[in-house]
Amino acid sequence: MDRIDKAACVTGAGGVPGPGAGGDWCYFLAPGLDVTRAERVELIPEQTGDAAVAVTLTPADRDSFAAWTTRSAGRQIAFNVQGRVVQAPDLLEPLSGDMVYISALTEADARTLFRQLWE
């Protein structure tokens, strides 16, 4: 991610809207990794009352994902789905494996994300 403006996006500025404190913020994204297919998408309730969405990557995307997270470790990343940032966590360390876990969502947001990813 290049930067975040703590205000709504201005049309034509090149940012992507997403969640922020008190409303939408505008995220300016660096080139990243595009995953256009998933092997599986699951909605998972969490003990906190929030929910998560687990995305199982296809075998073709697993190596690319691991390499991208190695290059991106220590930076803030963004999950951009259908033109909207759904979550922008700090990536503390490289990830490997076959699953991306998007957590700390409200149940309604998790259900919406699940539907968007599974369409």
pLDDT in tens, 45-93: 998 889 999 999 999 999 999 999 999 999 999 999 989 998 899 999 9
Alpha-carbon separation of residue 31 from 36, 52, 72, 73, 80 (angstroms): 15, 25, 11, 15, 12
Collapsing DSSP to helix, strand or coil, 93 comes out as coil
Does the structure show a pLDDT above 90 at 117?
no
The separation between CA 9 and the C-alpha centre of its own chain, rounded to angstroms, equals: 18
Supply the pTM of this predicted model: 0.81
CA dist 100 and 85 (Å) reads 15
Q: Is residue 9 within 8 Å of 33, Cβ to Cβ? A: no
Q: Is the dihedral of CA 100, 105, 106, 109 positive or negative?
A: negative
